């Protein structure tokens, strides 16, 4: 029996919720399960595959006890301890936990009203029964908005997960002597934030051999369709893979056809028709005599249409075709030279396990020293530690200031012992509901930089969200706004805000907006990256890593920057130290 990562994460979160509902154990046990669930959910490898290979310890935040429970789960399909912990809690409670805004205590309270299902809850909200039973109208409305989000969630894979699965398939196909070239296709090749099924193209003179080889790939559970030039298979994990095999002489046309967005391809066909060509995945045909023109590569394909080759990430019909035509004619503006992962010189949003009393959010899992060591392995020139701040409701301003001073001294002492990389002292703080910041300015003066972000009240009105972000952008101690739209892919939609006004304020005040590379964020969205750049805003790409393994997600943040047409000069953590330090007044 195959158990997906998302299912395992759900099981672990349900156990954590059961501890809270029954008021047993302690906060550290609850966090252990929640942190384990996060690690499993964001793993780019199937946890069950790692278990079968005896490599469960490679998943961060999986302690020995939880690993033993997962061992039991994979062997028997259930865990006796989990069943005991969840005993006597109505099943609807765990269904309700999937609704944004509903935590364990609220879920239990709803179940205590006799509500047996999510459908029943929806009916009681619409009829006003929930309010009549003592719930406030505002809370009922918030629950209803959460229900709408659940209904709108897609089943698309997060980009980092899809990317890693695709890499395995590409590596397997390349082992065949009949494969000349291989590429992922569609939204994955364009590095869209979420991906549907995984599609691949292969260039080969032996199409049937390649198809047979593909269908015999390890992990395939079923062959859904098989032809001479294509095949569709399902993996044990439930992912569907599609393969298309093209002849080498026309491979460029096939690769282009299944990479570009629908709008991009429609505009290309219109352009081709004006030039007397007909386009398809089989090649470029001259309408006049029906002759197929060889296009072995995408460069040959686009050159035939009188244009340079737009990089896959920007093939969305948002001006790239016109820019490619201008560039081929020696006119400006042409296609941008997009930022690359190799340009990144540091990461400013990293969370450590530095001791903190009542943090505002979960801490990282590794020491600052280990984070610095990983940054050096990535050849970074600088690294920024931006832990969550102490909880403002559980710590006095004096306690917060004292903690910031102690942490600042620790980082400075570490810097004295570390000569090969610059260690920067940052902090991630909350933009509260009223627009104020979660820690006093008196604490911020000790930092090299400050990141501010919204971590609650994400479904506020456009006016409220805008006001909160503007207040942060107008604070002299705030340097960066983190994950600006607050979206969680497949979980929560972007907050609504007056983005032109926000971009104007960011540019005016020399504030940075973050492109957050965490797998379920990839925020700022690519369309807003483009708009921000047009407003003169500078950006920073960060991983928001809570474990050092997550520092490798930088390439997915860079992909979103590329989709937004960002160049290296637009991204401050690609700059040399002199210009970077000047921006932050270091």
What is the per-residue pLDDT for 214? Answer: 98
Q: Name the CATH topology of 259-335.
A: Beta Polymerase; domain 3 (3.30.210)
**pLDDT digit string (tens) for the chain, length 586 residues:** 678 888 899 999 999 999 999 999 888 889 889 888 888 887 777 888 889 888 888 887 888 999 999 999 999 999 999 999 999 999 999 999 988 889 999 999 999 999 999 999 989 999 999 999 889 988 888 898 888 777 766 568 999 999 999 999 999 999 999 999 999 999 999 999 999 889 999 999 999 999 999 999 999 999 999 999 999 999 988 889 999 999 999 999 999 999 999 999 999 999 999 999 999 998 899 999 999 999 999 999 999 999 999 999 999 999 999 999 999 999 999 999 999 999 999 999 999 999 987 777 878 889 999 999 999 999 999 999 999 999 888 889 999 999 999 999 999 999 999 989 999 999 999 999 999 999 999 999 999 999 999 999 888 899 999 999 999 999 999 999 999 999 999 888 899 999 999 999 999 999 999 999 999 999 999 999 999 999 999 999 999 999 999 999 999 999 999 999 999 999 999 999 999 999 999 8
Alpha-carbon Rg of the chain, whole angstroms?
26
d(CA 426, CA 268): 47
Closest CA to 511 of 543, 535, 487: 535
Closest CA to 204 of 255, 271, 164, 258: 255
Q: How far is CA 515 from the centre of its chain?
A: 10
What is the per-residue pLDDT for 60? Answer: 78
Closest CA to 226 of 247, 239, 246, 207: 207
Q: For residue 361, count other CB atoms closer than 10 A to its CB.
A: 15
d(CA 43, CA 26): 26
User: Token pair of 249, please?
Assistant: 């002489």
Give one DSSP letter per residue of 14-41, joined into a string.
HHHHHHHHHT-S-HHHHHHHHHHHHHHH
d(CA 575, CA 584): 12
Task: Report CA-CA distances (Å) from 165 to 2, 59, 168, 401.
Answer: 16, 17, 5, 45
Q: Which residues on neighbouring strands pair with residue 480, listed in sequence order? A: 451, 512
d(CA 420, CA 191): 33
CATH superfamily of 341-583: Metal-dependent hydrolases (3.20.20.140)
Task: Specify the CATH architecture of the domain 154-246.
Answer: 2-Layer Sandwich (3.30)
Q: Tokens 């069950």 map to which residue? A: 48
User: Token pair of 462, please?
Assistant: 């456009």
What is the per-residue pLDDT for 75? Answer: 93
Look up the pTM and report it.
0.86
What is the per-residue pLDDT for 153? Answer: 62
Domain 5-152 sits in CATH 3.90.1150.10: no
What is the per-residue pLDDT for 169? Answer: 98
What is the per-residue pLDDT for 1? Answer: 64
What is the per-residue pLDDT for 356? Answer: 83
Task: Report CA-CA distances (Å) from 534 to 504, 505, 539.
Answer: 10, 13, 12
Closest CA to 566 of 324, 255, 338, 371: 338
SS3 percent helix, strand, coil of the chain, rounded to 5, is 45, 15, 40
Domain ranges for the chain: 5-152, 154-246, 259-335, 341-583
d(CA 102, CA 110): 10
Task: Report CA-CA distances (Å) from 336 to 308, 326, 345, 561.
Answer: 11, 12, 20, 12
What is the per-residue pLDDT for 138? Answer: 87
d(CA 191, CA 255): 15
């Amino acid at each position: 029996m195959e158990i997906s990562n998302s299912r395992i994460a759900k099981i672990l979160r349900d156990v954590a919720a059961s501890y809270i509902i029954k008021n047993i154990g302690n906060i550290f046990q609850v966090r252990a399960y929640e942190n384990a669930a996060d690690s499993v959910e964001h793993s780019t490898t199937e946890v069950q595959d790692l278990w079968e290979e005896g490599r469960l310890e490679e998943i961060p935040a999986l302690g020995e006890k939880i690993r033993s429970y997962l061992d039991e789960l994979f062997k028997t399909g259930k865990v006796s301890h989990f069943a005991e912990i969840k005993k006597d809690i109505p099943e609807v409670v765990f269904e309700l936990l999937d609704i944004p805004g509903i935590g364990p205590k609220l879920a239990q309270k709803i179940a205590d009203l006799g509500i047996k299902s999510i459908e029943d809850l929806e009916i009681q909200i619409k009829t006003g029964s929930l309010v009549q039973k003592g719930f406030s109208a505002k809370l009922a409305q918030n629950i209803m908005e959460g229900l709408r989000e659940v209904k709108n969630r897609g089943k698309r894979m997060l980009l980092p997960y899809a990317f890693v699965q695709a890499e395995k398939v590409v590596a397997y196909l390349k082992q065949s002597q009949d494969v000349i070239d291989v590429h992922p296709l569609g939204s994955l090749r364009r590095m869209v934030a979420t991906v549907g099924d995984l599609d691949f193209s292969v260039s080969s003179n032996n199409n049937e051999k390649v198809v047979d080889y593909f269908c015999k790939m390890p992990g395939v559970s079923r062959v859904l369709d098989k032809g001479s030039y294509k095949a569709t298979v399902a993996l044990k994990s439930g992912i569907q893979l599609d393969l298309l095999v093209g002849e080498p002489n026309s491979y460029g046309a096939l690769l282009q056809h299944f990479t570009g967005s629908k709008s991009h391809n429609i505009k290309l066909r219109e352009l081709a028709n004006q030039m007397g060509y007909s386009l398809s995945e089989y090649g470029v045909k001259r309408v006049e005599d029906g002759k197929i023109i060889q296009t072995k590569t995408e460069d040959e394909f686009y050159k035939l249409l009188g244009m340079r080759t737009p990089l896959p990430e920007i093939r969305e019909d948002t001006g790239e075709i016109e820019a490619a035509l201008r560039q081929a004619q020696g006119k400006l503006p042409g296609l941008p030279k997009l930022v690359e992962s190799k340009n990144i010189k540091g990461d400013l949003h990293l969370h450590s396990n530095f001791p903190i009393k009542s943090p505002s959010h979960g801490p990282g899992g590794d020491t600052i020293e280990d984070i610095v060591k990983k940054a050096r392995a990535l050849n970074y020139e600088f690294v920024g530690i931006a832990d969550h701040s102490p909880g403002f409701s559980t710590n006095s301003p004096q306690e917060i200031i004292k903690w910031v001073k102690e942490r600042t001294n620790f980082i400075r002492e570490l810097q004295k012992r570390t000569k090969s990389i610059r260690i920067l002292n940052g902090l991630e703080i909350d933009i509260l509901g009223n627009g104020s910041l979660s820690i006093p300015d008196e604490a911020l003066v000790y930092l090299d930089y400050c990141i501010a972000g919204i971590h609650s009240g994400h479904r506020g009105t456009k006016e409220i969200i805008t006001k909160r972000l503007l207040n942060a952008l107008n604070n002299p101690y705030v340097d960066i706004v983190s994950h600006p739209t607050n979206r969680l892919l497949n979980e929560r939609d972007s907050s609504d805000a007056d983005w032109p006004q926000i971009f104007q304020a960011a540019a005016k005040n020399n504030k940075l907006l973050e492109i957050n590379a965490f797998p379920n964020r990839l925020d700022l969205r690519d369309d807003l990256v483009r708009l921000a750049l047009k407003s003169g805003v500078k950006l920073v790409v960060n991983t928001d890593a809570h474990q050092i393994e997550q520092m490798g997600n930088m390439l997915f943040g860079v992909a979103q920057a590329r989709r937004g047409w960002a160049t290296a000069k637009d991204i401050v953590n690609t700059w040399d130290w002199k210009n970077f330090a000047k921006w932050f007044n270091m």
